[in-house]
A and B are shown apart, each in its own frame.
Chain A
Amino acid sequence: MAEMWINMGPQHPMTHGLWNLRVKVEGETILDAEPVIGYLHRGWEKLTEYRTYPQIIPLSDRLCYGSSMTWSHLYCLTIEDLMGIEVPERAEYIRVVVLELQRIASHLMWIAAYGTDLGLLTAFVYCMRERELFLDLLQSVTGARMTYNYPRIGGVRNDLPPDFERDCLRALDYFEKKIDEYEEIFDGSEIFLMRTRGIGILKPADGMNLGVTGATLRGSGVKIDLRKHDPYSVYDELDWEICTHPDCDCYARYRVRMDEMRMSCQIVREALKKMPAGPIRVKAPRNAPKKTAYARVEDPRGEGLMYVIGNGTDKPYRLKVRSPIFVTVSAVPIMLRGYKVADVPSIMGSVDMCLGETDR
């Protein structure tokens, strides 16, 4: 049968975000694939060279809109490293709480979209319902639903609102029961299991060679998580485990994310319990010294890294972003080769695409 290239995108229900997947097919079998990105490129790294350090925080919120908090947090971490600022302990604990709430919200958004891809519209409605709980919590802290503008260089913008701990624990108690409900929906669905088990195999060696990180790599059984291996904030003072799954397929990635949501609930509980009193912010200088700095965090999608060069003024000379999905998308041909065209949504959905940070 003749070989041909098919374009899936840019307007295609399979693409979460805006990109184009060119697939080389022979009949129904995928021979090769080639992702085309850049539809959302707005010159983020260049724009930061014209803005002062505090002005970049709202921009970094819009890097990845699925998990704004981790990116503005990562930016603040980088600049704190550059300026040599010690963040007060209470601010670190508040950051951990909001980061983990953001991680749950991001994973819920992913699982809702994944359910829609694989014909489980119920899962979409259920997961979006519980996502609103966490958006409400984050809204009570920051005032916004999605783009928070909350971390500051040297702390956080404001303290937790009164009764936040009560509301948060109540939402977590409710949510942990709901995770079991999702598992019943997904694991009880024969179609879901057929479309994810043994599909999209990414061997641990391939994943590591291509620089894949995050839940995609942990789904291949590699035990790596920057919160454990390069701890930032106060993750090293909390008691939690890295979630992995040895199966290397789409189902393993789904399992890892479900377990991570449970683990995030545990981290939030512990952080709320251990949270000390004290100041939430220290004053940051206006100008940065002439040196370089970098920081990396565990984004819900993988390893996010920022590298900054300061030149003595109030604007960065260069700010480089390492986006997890930009690297993961290069592993797409390996994951797709040999499977059928109908498997493309389940494989591409399982890596949790977010094009805002990929194209920058």
Chain B
Amino acid sequence: MSAKEFMKWSSELFDEVVRASGVKRAVDKLTLPIWSWALRNSLFPLHFGIACCALEMAAASAARFDAERFGFVFRSSPRQCDVLLVNGWVTTKLRPDLRRLYEQMPEPKWVVAMGECAISGGPWYDSYNVVQGLDTFIPVDIYIPGCPPRPEAMLDGFMKLQDKIRAEMKGTFLED
């Protein structure tokens, strides 16, 4: 038996024993609130400015509104993020890139549609180049209405997302 085979055999054995004995269920149940607490209090939205709402996103993370006190720190790489904040109209040229950004983000992940344009096309309802709503190609968790929403509204939307994560109780100690 090679080292690689031994690792595979031992981890499978361990996994089977933990599952069969009910230890996995107990550990999952015990650690679930901790996972949920950690997930909702360290939301890292993607730093991706599209249009008008991007300035309100910047204002929300700046001095007066200070989003960091709620645990939202903007990161520039989709690999480090768990919230895709779409703040502007989605054009047909941007659509594949946005889809790819969403797919590059690791699970668990959430999507926030900020502003009328991302929700439903907004003032560009009859435009030939604007996708009428982000939810036509990405599942959306939270909608923040406004054109553009005030920073307070954006913070409120993120707190709604925290409530949603609390209610979802996602996260397990051992992968299924």
Contact = CB atoms under 8 A, between A and B. Distances in A.
Interface of A: 10-13, 16-18, 38-43, 46-47, 50, 58-59, 62, 65-66, 109, 112-113, 124-126, 128-129, 131-132, 135, 145-147, 355-356
Contacts of B148: 65, 145-147
A47 B93 contact: no
Interface string B75-97: 01010000000001101011001
Given A17-B49, A38-B91, A65-B55, 10 more contacts: A17-B50, A17-B54, A39-B91, A41-B93, A43-B127, A112-B62, A128-B63, A135-B59, A145-B148, A147-B148
A125 B147 CA distance: 24
Q: Report the 7 A-B pairs with minimum CB-CB distance, sorted nearest first.
A: A128-B62, A65-B52, A129-B63, A13-B76, A42-B124, A42-B127, A42-B130
Contacts of A126: 63
Main secondary structure of the interface of B (DSSP, over half): loop
A124 B49 contact: no
A214 B58 CA distance: 25
Given A11-B101, A132-B59, A145-B150, A58 B127 contact: no
Contacts of A124: 62
B129 interface: yes
Contacts of B97: 10-11, 39
Nearest to A50: B126
B48 interface: yes
A300 to B, nearest CB: 14
Contacts of A16: 49
Nearest to B50: A18
A109 B93 contact: no
B129 A43 contact: yes
B6 interface: no
